[in-house]
Amino acid sequence: MTRPVFRFAPSPNGPLHLGHARSALINGALARASGGRLLLRIEDIDATRCRPAFEAGIYEDLAWLGLDWERPVRRQSQHFADYRSALARLEALDLIYPSFETRGDIRRAVAERSGWPSDPDGAPLFPFPRAAMSAAERARRVAAGEPYALRLDMARAQALAVARAGPLAWREVDAAGEGTNIAADPLAWGDVILARKEVPTAYHLAVVVDDALQGVTHVVRGADLKAATSVHRVLQVLLGLPAPLYTHHALLLDAEGRKLSKSIGSQSLASLRAEGVTPDEVRRLAGL
Ligand code: GLU
């Protein structure tokens, strides 16, 4: 029997907090209980926000929690060629296009339309149809050096994926090990960004390419990423990649009911450690 492969995939754009500890420890416990492997992946594609010191902190925090992971660690910034070749395959299927609208353009366009839908993360769907600009005009603007984002033509991508694989779904495994099929709804995301002029990948693309390249069989992550699995399934089908099993665990909330995050200044594991909190206490604080 092949061993299950789990991964914890933090971004080194801030210190780890209790929410990360929870996710990492759940992955570690599931790997141990199943005789599986635990991988650590550093999701550092955003060079403007990622810092070596945060990456060093990740290793320190996880080791302190008693976790052990396989080496070498995959750092996404070292594998841009893999994402470029996945992009090229999607491009060959005519599924991606460069878009030039800024966040401000999108905000203004959406403000003029009442009831314009948002994606599951609350951001407005991309409001400019691909057909509104010719492929030749898009190519001219790219060649002229304008900044752009490469977007997935989701309607076309979803239609092609369904034609290839039938209705899109994934297997969600709950804490008791019970599995259910969840129907994917990629159109709820609209034309998501898969890369930018300066960076040949964005989260959705890198995560499916890496999970497949690393042979991940069990994706265990926070419930805030559950809806994104719809996008991941489309990409997996189009790129011919296997579908892992998914578990989206409940998030830790702070006293105000907000999910812990770097942006609200949730207390870091390093500062808890400095205050004398023990790994066992972290487990308890992390709801485990
Ligand atoms: N890098 C992502 C994050 O820190 C997690 C990606 C994933 O688990 O799919 O939120």
Q: Ligand 1, closest atom to CA 10?
A: 4
For 20-75, write each residue's pLDDT tens digit. 999 999 999 999 999 999 999 999 999 999 999 999 999 999 999 999 999 999 99
Among 8, 17, 73, 225, which is best to mutate for testing ligand 1, by the most ligand atoms less than 8 A from CB?
225
Distance 286 CA to ligand 1 centre (A): 18
CA atoms within 13 A of residue 55's CA, in its CB half-sphere: 17
So what's the pLDDT on residue 4? Answer: 98
The pLDDT of residue 194 is 98
HSE-up (13 A, CA, CB side) for residue 173: 12
Evaluate: CB of 207 within 6 angstroms of ligand 1: yes
The finding on whether 221 has its CB within 6 A of some atom of ligand 1 is yes
Q: Are 167 and 59 in contact (CB under 8 A)?
A: no
Element (H, E) at 222: strand 218-222
Nearest Cα residue to atom 10 of ligand 1: 10
Q: Check residues 259 and 246 and name the one with the higher pLDDT.
A: 246
Give the model confidence (pLDDT) of 266-278 as tens digits: 789 999 999 999 9
Phi-psi region of 7 (alpha: psi -120 to 50; beta: other; left: phi over 0): beta
% of the chain at pLDDT higher than 90: 93
CA dist 90 and 116 (Å) reads: 28
The pLDDT confidence band at residue 2, using thresholds 50, 70 and 90, is confident
Instruction: Give the distance (Å) from ligand 1 centre to CA of residue 261.
Output: 12
**CA atoms within 13 Å, Cβ hemisphere of 177:** 3
Better-predicted residue by pLDDT, 268 or 259: 268
Cβ 115 vs Cβ 241: under 8 Å: no
Residue 265 pLDDT exceeds 90? no
Report the nearest-CA residue for atom 4 of ligand 1: 10
> Is residue 216 within 6 Å of ligand 1 at its C-beta?
no
Higher pLDDT, residue 254 or 185: 185
Residues whose CB falls within 8 Å of the CB of residue 185, separated by 6 or more in sequence, listed in order: 227, 230
Q: What is the mean predicted confidence (pLDDT) over 240-255? A: 94
- Ligand 1 centre to CA of 150 (Å) is 21
pLDDT of res. 1: 64
Partner residues linked to 17 by β-bridges: 268
Q: Is 76 in the pocket of ligand 1 (CB under 6 A)?
A: no
Q: How far is CA 221 from CA 19, 67, 148, 247, 271, in A?
A: 10, 16, 30, 6, 23
Atom of ligand 1 at shortest range from CA of 224: 10
pTM (2 decimals)?
A: 0.95
Q: Which atom of ligand 1 is nearest to the CA of 8?
A: 8
Cα 242-195-87 angle, rounded to 5 deg: 45
**Under DSSP, is residue 64 helix (H, G, I), strand (E, B) or coil?**
helix
Q: What are phi and psi of 278, to 5 degrees?
A: -95, 160
Going across the sheet that includes 179-183, the strands are 74-75, 37-42, 5-8, 218-222, 245-249, 169-173, 179-183
Atom number of ligand 1 nearest to Cα 222: 8
Q: For residue 80, name the pLDDT band (cuts at 50, 70, 90).
A: very high
